[in-house]
Structure 1
Amino acid sequence: MSPDQHRSHSAQEQPGHSPLVWIALVTLMLMAGIAMPGQGRVNAALAAQTGDAFLAALISFTTGLALMLVIAFATARGRRTMRQVKPAFRSGAVKWWYLLAGCVGGYYVLTQTLTIGMIGVAVFTVSVVTGQTVGGLLWDRIGLGPAGRKRLSLMRVAGALLTVAAVLWAVSPQLSGTDRGLSWLLLVILPFSGGFLNSGQQALNGRQSAAYGSPIPATLFNFIAGTFVLLLAWLGKLLFVGGVPGALPDQWWYYIGGPLGCMFIALGAVLVTKVGVLVAAMGMIAGQLVGSLLLDVLMPAPGSLVTFSTVAGTVLTLVAVVVASLPDMLRRPGRGKR
C-alpha cells in the first residue's frame, strides 16, 4: 500500500472523538491562536525599538529556532523523534518539499510587515482570515492534510462563512474611512495569500507530525526555513534600502515572540491530524480574536478599540468552530467516516 493510499485509508477509519476530547481539542486550538496576537504585539514593540521591522521578524524566528534546536537535540524525546526523520523520508511518508512549509511563515511575516501600515490591522486581519478559511476548505477537499480528503459538508461551509463574517463584525469599528483604490486591493491580496498559504503550511506540518509521531521535527524545520527566508529579506533590505538598526533592548520579554511562534506551529501541526485543516484553522482564528481581545482589555495599545462588535464577533467565531465541527462531534467514537 502506498503512503497516499495509507493516508486515505487512515482518514476513512479515523475514529470519532468523545465530547470531552472535543473540549480539549478546542481548548488547544484557542491556546494556539492566543499565542499569535501575543507574538504580534511583542514583535511590533521590538520593531519600534530597533526601527527595523525586518530585523524584528528575523530575531523572532531566530529565537524560535534556538529554542527548537535545544528541544530537538538536548532532550531525550527530541533526539528520539529526530531519529524518525530518515525512516519517514525513506518510506515516502514525507517528501522533501514538505520542508519548505516554513518558508510560508517567513512570507506571512513579510506580508504583515509590508501591508499593515498601509491597510491597517483590521483589513489585514479580515484578509488573512479569509485566506485561511478558503485555504482550509481547499486543502481539506484535496486531502493535503494528514487526515485525507474531507467532504465539503453544509456545516463546514457554513462554519467557514460564519468565521469570516464574525471576524468582519469584530473589526468593523476599525474599518471606517479606509480608501479602497486599486493599490489598496493589491495590498489586500498579499495578506490573503499569506493566510491561504498558512493553512497549507499547517497541513504539511500535520503530515510531518503524523509521520514522525511528534511535532518537534516539523516545527524545527519550519523555523530553519523561515529564518533563512527572513535573513535573505533583511540582507536584501540592507543592500537596496539601507538603514542601520537601533540598539537591541535589554528586557527579556522582547524576545519571546519566537517561543510563542513555536507554540502556534507545534500545536497547529498536532491539531490538523485530529480535526482537519479547516476546523484547526477556524479554531486558531477564534483564539487569535480571543487573545487580541484580552490584550486590548488588559494591556491596551495606543489606538485599541473594544466595542460590542469586538466582543460579539469574537464570541461568534467560537460558534462558527462548533458549527463546522458538528459533523465530527455527532459521529460516535470508534466509527470511521463513510
Structure 2
Amino acid sequence: MTSGRAATALGLLGTALVGALTALQVRANGQLGHRIDDSTLAAAFSFGSGLVLITVIAALTPAGRRGIRALRDGISAGGIRWWMLAGGLAGAFTVSSQSITAGIIGVSLFTVGFVAGQIVFGIVIDRVGYGPSGVVPVTIRRVIGGAVALLAVGISVTGGNLTGVPWWMLLLPLLAGGGVAWQQATNGRLRGATGSAIAATAVNFLGGTIALVLIAAVHVAIVGLPERWPSDPWPYAGGALGVGYILLSAALVRRTGVLLLVLGSVVGQLATALVLDAFWPAPASPGLGHEVLVALIAVASVAIVVVPWPHTRPGARA
C-alpha cells in the first residue's frame, strides 16, 4: 500500500472513530441519567467534566493558549459578538436529550433522529446564510436527503416497544440534531474569528456547563441528590468522549474534507450504536432488525446529500 493510500485509509478510519466516539457518548450520558434517575445532573456532570479536560488542554498546548488570547482580544475589540459565544447552549440541550432519552429508546434511534435533525435544520441554516460559508442554495439533493432522513425517523418510531414512550421523548433527538446544526454554524464563525478549534470548544463547554449547573442546582434544591451513583467508571465518560470527537474532527477535516468526515462519522456512529443496542438493548428498543433498516435509510439520506451525483458540475455545492 502506497503512503497516499495508507494516509487515506487512516483518515477514513479516523472519521469512523469520530462517529464511534459520538455513539459512545450518547450511551454513556444516557446510562448515567437512567441509572441515577436524574438527567439534569447527569448532563451537568458530563459537560462539567468535559470543561475541565478542555481547560487543561488549552492551558498546556501552545495552540490552545494562542486561541484563548485571540478569543480575549476579539471580545475586547468587539469583533466577537455575544451570540458567537452561545453555541454551548445547544450542546447543553443535546447532552440533556441524551441523558433523558438514550437510556430508554436506545442509541440507534436517538442517532437516527439526531442525524435527521442535522440535515433538515442544516438546509434552513444554510439557506438563510447563518453559517460561515454564507448563503448556500437549496438543491434537489438536499431536499431529497432531508425527506429520506425524515422517512427514517418516521419508520424508527413505529416499533411496537415504543408505544408507551411519550411523544416528546421521540422528538428530542430531532431537535437536538437541529440544535447541533446551529451550533456547528456558530462554532464555524467563532473558529474563523479566533483561528482556534480549541478556543471554540472551550467556549462551548464553558457556556453549556454554566447553564446546566444552574439548572441542576435548582433541580437538586427541589428534589435532592440521587440516592445511588454507578460504581463503574463507564457512565462518567461522556465529557471526555465529547472532547475527543470534537478535537479529532477538527484534526481530520483538513485531510479528509467535509464530505468524507460527515459520511464516515455517520456510518461509524450508526454502526457503533447498533452494536451497543444489540448487546445492551434499551427498554423501548424496537428490535435489532428494525434498527438496522432505519440505520441503512439514515446512511442513505446522508449519502444523497454529500456524495456527488452523476453529471454534477465539479465544485458545485451539495
TM range (shorter): 0.7 to 0.9
How many angstroms apart in 2 are the aligned matches of 1:165 and 1:196? 16
Which amino acid is the alignment partner of residue 107 of structure 1? F
Which amino acid is the alignment partner of residue 226 of structure 2? P
The alpha-carbon distance between structure 1 residues 27 and 322, as it changes in their structure 2 partners (threshold 3 A), is farther
The alpha-carbon distance between structure 1 residues 283 and 141, as it changes in their structure 2 partners (threshold 3 A), is farther
3-state secondary structure, aligned to 1:149: coil
1:97 to 83, 96, 109: 83
Q: Aligned-pair distance for 1:127?
A: 4.6
Q: Aligned-pair distance for 1:208?
A: 1.8
Cα deviation, 1:192-248, whole Å, max 9, x if unaligned, reads 4333222101111122223333311111111111111111111111223x1332354
The alpha-carbon distance between structure 1 residues 199 and 21, as it changes in their structure 2 partners (threshold 3 A), is farther
Aligned to 1:108: 94
1:174 to 147, 156, 159: 159
| Structure-to-structure mapping, 1:35-184, within 5 angstroms | 35-89=21-75, 94-114=80-100, 120-121=105-106, 127-169=113-155, 171=156, 174-175=159-160, 178=163, 184=166
Identical columns (%): 32
Which amino acid is the alignment partner of residue 224 of structure 1? L
Cα deviation, 1:119-141, whole Å, max 9, x if unaligned, reads x4577555544432221111111
How many angstroms apart in 2 are the aligned matches of 1:336 and 1:289? 28
- How many residues are treated as equivalent by the alignment? 309
Aligned to 2:236: 255
Q: TM-score, normalised by structure 1?
A: 0.74
Which amino acid is the alignment partner of residue 130 of structure 2? L
Q: Aligned-pair distance for 1:27?
A: 5.5
The alpha-carbon distance between structure 1 residues 79 and 318, as it changes in their structure 2 partners (threshold 3 A), is same
How many angstroms apart in 1 are the aligned matches of 2:188 and 2:48? 22
Which amino acid is the alignment partner of residue 237 of structure 1? H
Q: TM-score, normalised by structure 2?
A: 0.78
How many angstroms apart in 2 are the aligned matches of 1:79 and 1:245? 38
CA contact (8 A) 2:117 2:174 kept: yes
Q: Does 1:300 align with 2:244?
A: no
Q: Bigger CA drift: 145-154 or 313-322?
A: 313-322
Residue segments in structure 2 that go unaligned for 5+ positions in a row = none
CA contact (8 A) 1:50 1:247 kept: yes
Q: Does 1:223 align with 2:208?
A: no
How many angstroms apart in 2 are the aligned matches of 1:256 and 1:204? 26
The alpha-carbon distance between structure 1 residues 117 and 201, as it changes in their structure 2 partners (threshold 3 A), is same
CA contact (8 A) 2:123 2:138 kept: yes
How many angstroms apart in 1 are the aligned matches of 2:125 and 2:17? 23
How many angstroms apart in 2 are the aligned matches of 1:22 and 1:305? 36
| Structure-to-structure mapping, 1:19-30, within 5 angstroms | 29-30=15-16
How many angstroms apart in 2 are the aligned matches of 1:319 and 1:150? 22
The Cα RMSD (Å) is 3.8
Q: Aligned-pair distance for 1:106?
A: 1.4
